[in-house]
Amino acid sequence: AQSVTQPDIHITVSEGASLELRCNYSYGATPYLFWYVQSPGQGLQLLLKYFSGDTLVQGIKGFEAEFKRSQSSFNLRKPSVHWSDAAEYFCAVGGKAGGTSYGKLTFGQGTILTVHP
Amino acid sequence: NAGVTQTPKFQVLKTGQSMTLQCAQDMNHEYMSWYRQDPGMGLRLIHYSVGAGITDQGEVPNGYNVSRSTTEDFPLRLLSAAPSQTSVYFCASSYALNQPQHFGDGTRLSIL
């Protein structure tokens, strides 16, 4: 069964500091990996995705993530955090594994990011 | 662009009542899904559909029904509401799995 673990429930950083949000996944085939961001009272917005190819992917709002197959990780990074980045971040894994698993995405528990001025 | 529209935005029910959460998308997406979001548990897949007339269960399907008679609409039905179904419900759509999912703004549901 596929699964996603986000080890950090809550992270606090100062504005201008660098950020890394961790994501570890379990999947039996080549995964599709996603990072979404959710502002309070809103739906989820896609930050970036990995399907294949270059393991370092760039997303919106200055975010990037690196796929490391050997570590089953897909950590999200940003060199300098802005106050507007405060939100909840979700990592998700999916893929076309066939049968009834087609189309299923599994989300992590989320990491809440607080940004101090 | 309307994108994914969910109605209602808020709803309070009594235990045992039934209701339907509506979801409509105007992007001609084949893939649609329903999630529930609970604190500390992320989003859990309830049901999904890969096209009109095709639905399948997700991780937490019990107590919910879906149907997909058109490409645009994917309603979620609560058959007999229970307090454990108090949650925020999100509908999402995409062209296919390997395309970004577009989320609605959610329905906040409270069961008393």
pLDDT confidence tier of residue A103, bands split at 50, 70 and 90? low
Q: What percent of chain B has pLDDT over 90?
A: 82
Check A103 against B104: CB less than 8 A apart.
no
For β-strands A73-78 and A64-68, DSSP reports them as antiparallel
Q: List the Cα angle B40/A110/B49 in 5-degree steps.
A: 95
SS3 A71: helix
Q: Average pLDDT, whole number, for chain A?
A: 90
Q: Which two tokens stand for residue B100?
A: 């970004």
A57-81 confidence digits (pLDDT tens): 999 999 999 999 999 999 999 999 9
Q: What is the rounded CA–CA span in Å between residue B5 and residue A49?
A: 24
Q: Chain A interface residues facing chain B, Cβ-Cβ under 8 Å?
A: 4, 6, 9, 32, 34, 36, 41-46, 49, 51, 90, 92, 94-96, 100, 102-110
Q: What is the pLDDT of residue A99?
A: 45
Q: Token pair 């649609």 is at which residue?
A: B32
What share of chain B has pLDDT > 70, as a percent?
A: 97
- The alpha carbon of A109 is separated from its chain's Cα centroid by a whole number of angstroms, namely 11
For residue A115, give how far its alpha carbon lies from the nearest alpha carbon of chain B (Å).
20
Residue B97: pLDDT band with limits 50, 70, 90: low
| Nearest CA distance, B46 vs chain A (angstrom) | 10
Strand A111-116 to strand A10-14: parallel, antiparallel, or no bridges (unpaired)?
A: parallel
